[in-house]
Amino acid sequence: MGRGLVRALGEGKSTGGRRPILLEINPEGGLVVAVDIASSAQERRVRAAAFDLQNRIVLELTRPHMLVGNKAMLGAIQGIIADLLESPELGRIPTLTIGISVPGVVDAQAGSVVYTGIETKDLPLGSALRETFLASVIIQNSEDAAALGEFHNASDHESNSLLYLSVGAGLGAGLVVAGQIYQPERKSIGEIGHMTVKADGPQCHCGNYGCLSTLVSSEAIVERIQAALVQGYRPQTGVLKGSPIQAVDIPLILDAAEMGEMLCEDILQEAAQWMGIAVASTINILNPGIIVFGGELYETGDYFFGLTRDVAMLRSFPEYFEDTQLKRSALGRNAGLRGIGILALEELFRVSIQSQ
Ligand SMILES: [Zn+2]
């Protein structure tokens, strides 16, 4: 109450002693800023949102980016936060915590970005932002943040755990256990893309052969369709026939498959075999209660989701499969931003309680 984070609502009923004071979180007691960086072939943008202390979005900004390297990443994040905070809509409410969701490996404990696919390496993001904005800062991997966002969004909390799987330019996973992001020693987990599913498969950039991501990422699927077209495959449907080879992308492939284009059906079915095998294995190991599927392959309709679910059902331990709800992401590209906002709020109240 001293810091204005909670306020009195009135007095409650006495149960024999002094009447208790009812408290509520004061929405205007401060701001939490969430920043989410998306960096796929399909989407390159930085988004920032200011949340009040009751987790409602007050203001949001989105910018495209062509980030490469530490300096560009830090500059883009500092720039969008500064612009957000200077907006007249936010008035003079102090910013208490900043959360950043980054597509890559992070060290949440140290508050740094260890590695991303956009050439960011060993970037002490936390300390730099703390100095600039005088707020506490937390950093989290995008899939972990998205898992938390989806967990809070699920209205029926029949399960207190949730596994988030994302398939796009890369593959990622985040796990929520007992309402918290599972990260032993605050390090990342969930490199499902490097699960071996095909012993003699193609070599992955990690050095191993037959990793899931060599068979299932959007890039892998698009390349296979393009290769077939270059080799003279004649499309049967207008969708594929009418577009230049370079313009073939995942939404187009999904459309064509739904219209019965055999090449697209075959390649998606094969990809779903590998993905379903990986999903079945994770169900057998974790029995996670809820699995949410996000990313480009699952965002645009039910087609690839249906194929994946069928394989997962055939390949997993039946009792565990029955316990597991499989669903497509409801939040889509907002999952990471929502999740990092929630995490920043949790951090704010944790730090406030500790500093008493
Ligand atoms: Zn690999």
Q: Kindly report, residue by residue over 222-259, the tens digit of the pLDDT.
A: 999 999 999 999 988 878 888 889 999 999 999 999 99
Half-sphere exposure of 128 (CA within 13 A, CB side): 18
Q: Ligand 1 centroid vs 91 CA: distance in angstroms?
A: 48
- For residues 265 and 92, the model is more confident at 265
Q: Ligand 1 centroid vs 276 CA: distance in angstroms?
A: 17
What architecture (CATH level 2) is domain 155-329?
2-Layer Sandwich (3.30)
Distance CA 225, CA 221 (A): 6
Tell whether the model's pLDDT for residue 11 goes beyond 90: no
Q: Ligand 1 centroid vs 194 CA: distance in angstroms?
A: 4
**What is the average pLDDT across 298-325?**
96
- For residues 339 and 41, the model is more confident at 339
Q: Ligand 1 centroid vs 274 CA: distance in angstroms?
A: 14
> Which of 67-71, 85-89, 175-179, 271-275 has the highest average model confidence (pLDDT)?
271-275
Tell whether the model's pLDDT for residue 311 goes beyond 70: yes
Whether 155-329 and 27-142 are alike in CATH topology: the answer is: yes
Lowest mean pLDDT among 25-29, 58-62, 303-307: 25-29
> Which of 9-23, 112-126, 272-286 has the highest average model confidence (pLDDT)?
272-286
Q: Ligand 1 centroid vs 207 CA: distance in angstroms?
A: 6
- CB-CB contact of 308 with 279 (8 Å): yes
How confident is the model at residue 40, as a pLDDT?
67
Q: Ligand 1 centroid vs 141 CA: distance in angstroms?
A: 18
Q: Ligand 1 centroid vs 178 CA: distance in angstroms?
A: 29
Half-sphere exposure of 2 (CA within 13 A, CB side): 4
Q: Which fold has domain 27-142?
A: Nucleotidyltransferase; domain 5 (3.30.420)
pLDDT band at 356 (very low <50, low <70, confident <90, very high): low
Distance CA 200, CA 210 (A): 6
Mean pLDDT, all residues of the chain: 90
Give the residue from 313, 290, 293 showing the smallest Cα distance to 303: 293
Distance CA 279, CA 317 (A): 11
How confident is the model at residue 32, as a pLDDT?
94
Q: Ligand 1 centroid vs 172 CA: distance in angstroms?
A: 12
Q: Ligand 1 centroid vs 204 CA: distance in angstroms?
A: 5
Per the DSSP assignment, residues forming a β-bridge with 57 are 51
**What is the average pLDDT across 199-217?**
94
Q: Ligand 1 centroid vs 121 CA: distance in angstroms?
A: 19
How confident is the model at residue 315, as a pLDDT?
97
Tell whether the model's pLDDT for residue 17 goes beyond 70: yes
Question: Which residues have C-beta under 5 Å from ligand 1, the single-atom ion?
Answer: 194, 204, 206, 208, 211
Q: Is the dihedral of CA 305, 309, 315, 319 positive or negative?
A: positive
- For residues 44 and 113, the model is more confident at 113
Residue 9: enclosing H or E segment and its boundaries? strand 6-11
Q: Is 256 helix (H, G, I), strand (E, B) or coil?
A: helix
How confident is the model at residue 155, as a pLDDT?
63
Q: Ligand 1 centroid vs 191 CA: distance in angstroms?
A: 9
Tell whether the model's pLDDT for residue 42 goes beyond 70: no
Q: Ligand 1 centroid vs 218 CA: distance in angstroms?
A: 15
How confident is the model at residue 149, as a pLDDT?
95
Angle among Cα 135, 138, 143 to the nearest 5 degrees reads: 150
Q: Ligand 1 centroid vs 114 CA: distance in angstroms?
A: 18
Q: Ligand 1 centroid vs 20 CA: distance in angstroms?
A: 57
pLDDT tens profile 51-106: 999 999 999 999 988 778 899 999 999 999 999 999 988 888 888 899 999 988 88
| Domain residue ranges in the chain | 27-142, 155-329
